[in-house]
Chain A
Amino acid sequence: MTEAQIKEVIFKLLKRIAPESDPQSLGPDENVRRALDIDSFDALNFFIHLHEELGVTIPESDYGQMNTLSEMVRYLVKHAG
């Protein structure tokens, strides 16, 4: 899976949680939860859906490694293959 495809899935899921937002305008190092007002319940569902969409198992203890867009992409690229 390419970085672009991963980003597309991330944007789609974020848009579902925060439809009023424009995830594509996020800076690569911006804290996604803070920028888009995503609470911990929605964050949990986001990670669960990432797993469903990408098939990447993300343990709860790794959630803290994915605060920004670039961190998410890096993690998912690394664990996808």
Chain B
Amino acid sequence: MFWMPIKKHVASFAVRPNLLDYDETRARFSWDAIRGELDGLPGGRGLNIAHEAVDRHAAGPLASRIALRWLGSEGEIQDYTYADLSGASSRFANILKGLGIARGDTVCALAGRVPELYLAALGTLKNASVFCPLFSAFGPEPIFQRLSRGDARALVTTERQYRQKIIPLMDRLPKLSRVLLVDAPDHVADNLLSLPRMMAEASDAFTIPPTDPEDMAVLHFTSGTTGMPKGAVHVHNAVLTHYMTGKYVLDFHPGDVFWCTADPGWITGTSYGIIAPLLHGITNIVDEADFDAERWCRILESQKVTVWYTAPTAIRRLMRIGVEPRLKCDLHHLRLVHSVGEPLNPEAVVWGEKGLGLPVHDNWWQTETGGIMIANFASMEIRPGSMGRPLPGIDAAIVRRIDKDHVEEIRDPGTQGELALRPGWPSMFRAYLHDEERYRKCFAGGWYFTGDLAKLDADGYFWFVGRADDIIKTAGHMVGPFEVESTLMEHPAVAEAGVIGKPDPMIGEIVKAFVALKSGFEPNEELRLELIGFARKRLGSAVAPKEIEFQPNLPKNKAGKIMRRLLKAREMGLPEGDLSTLETSP
């Protein structure tokens, strides 16, 4: 179905977009000019994200402006001005310093969206340590993979998470020397400490040490097809991308109230749920609770949100409420709505105009890119279903790999290929931690390969087609089939497991496992539920399969590798393609 482009009448906008002329902005763009809009550490001591996000505002006219407004799930509100945030993040930095957590050491966080998470993120950056957030709905196994691969020295978490998930892992994590509990009134042991007590005792004065723009700042794990999760390394220089995309895509203006609904466990929740709005000196809304249509409409209204960055799943849920949100709530403050996580279907883009009074601007990026790379812009027409056009300073293309070193750029409009980016933008990942080979494999012929298949139209708009590999995109985040298969294989009844993303209209894909049982085990409902429970206990709800289907045996190629693509084709009722490498007999 063809969807009419959504035209914009920029002259009638109450607020003039920062990017008015796409071609001209691209033509005159330079990263040096963006760097010139940031301050750098005093005395030419380098570039530190936390200084740009917090301290420089706290020392100026924005000191008393609300930087962070936290909405608790029980209705509480906590406000932090830029001055408050500067002091509190300095306290956290002093705690780390006092504990001997040094430059380059990893500090992980495993908590819901509580204020301490945000203070820890900024304080860790101030201390020139590395912040590594983990999603709170991970089970012990994904948490262990990330803490151990990330060389975590300290962990900020809650008593509940600690008790349920961390205690059983402690013996396997010798490098993890300190656990800071956000909700313990007093210290429990030498290595199990009360964060509130330490915050009260720490000084709120801290001088950020010299920080090289190439110093590691943030570590975000993302899933791979074949192995365990990979730690994408980001450096302080990424702040240039965070700032630039805040300016040109999210279109921040002084006085804006911004709400990014993503959890910092995923990179959107860090780059845009913490850093970008603070860089621009605006108010950042954080809601502790999970999606609730009624609550979210009320937040948009009561907090007078001007720019909203959310996800397709949330938009589709809002579409279910029947009454259009703009008829239930006063949304007249809302100026721009953005979406990311998976492609937003055209129906949802268009529904935005009816339901919210504004079309939804989809954009595209991934953990490795550190910030938005391709976007629909406030001033430009939206092609519903398209991810938009590359940011100034970003070169994107549709390419085909010819061999290890050679790549062909596909210029014919509408031809499918792999989406690739020209390396060198400031927030490009600098490594997969301890995995040089996997990092190198992402680059060839002068391009970074994103792993996404896409098309380019004649007017320069990019269109997502699918993943080039077996990674599952569920509710906006990536799940590696290997992680799930490995866990299922630990169950005594399981002989083989193959895991795919089954298309789902609400969350993109759901994790579905096909399981072949060992002899002596009967496929029945009881065992199916047992396996789901078994996986949930180890992987957590964010990663565990939602569906399990028993099969007598799974399709394998001649090398004995389970063919996930074939399982997926069968699941979707698609032609099975070339079966010549398929082993058919059990």
Contact = CB atoms under 8 A, between A and B. Distances in A.
Interface string A38-69: 11111010000000000000011111100000
Interface in B294-323: 294-295, 313, 317, 320-323
A61 B537 contact: no
Nearest to B525: A16
B529 A63 contact: no
Contacts of B536: 18-20, 37
Per DSSP, chain A at the interface is helix
B317 A60 contact: yes
Contacts of B540: 37
A37 B537 CA distance: 9
Contacts of B292: 63-64
A40 B290 contact: yes
A61 B293 contact: yes
B108 interface: no
Contacts of B433: none
A33 interface: yes
B293 A63 contact: yes
A36 to B, nearest CB: 9
A42 B137 CA distance: 13
Contacts of A37: 137, 139, 536, 540-541
Given A19-B533, A20-B536, A64-B294, A38 B321 contact: no
Contacts of B546: 41-42
B532 interface: yes
B291 A40 contact: yes
A18 B322 CA distance: 29
B380 interface: no
B317 A20 contact: no
Contacts of B506: 41, 44
Contact of A16 (B504, B529, B537): B529
B510 A41 contact: yes
Given A64-B292, A64-B295, A19 B322 contact: no
Interface of B: 73, 137, 139, 290-295, 313, 317, 320-323, 328, 474-475, 504, 506-507, 510, 529-530, 532-534, 536-537, 540-542, 546
Q: Report, nearest first, the 3 A-B pairs whose CB atoms are least far apart.
A: A20-B533, A19-B533, A64-B292
Given A39-B475, A40-B290, A60-B322, 18 more contacts: A15-B529, A19-B529, A19-B533, A20-B532, A37-B536, A38-B541, A41-B475, A41-B506, A41-B510, A42-B546, A44-B317, A44-B506, A61-B293, A61-B321, A61-B328, A63-B294, A64-B292, A64-B294
20 contacts: A16-B529, A18-B536, A19-B529, A20-B532, A20-B533, A21-B533, A31-B73, A33-B290, A39-B542, A40-B317, A40-B475, A41-B506, A42-B541, A59-B321, A60-B317, A60-B320, A61-B294, A63-B292, A63-B293, A63-B294
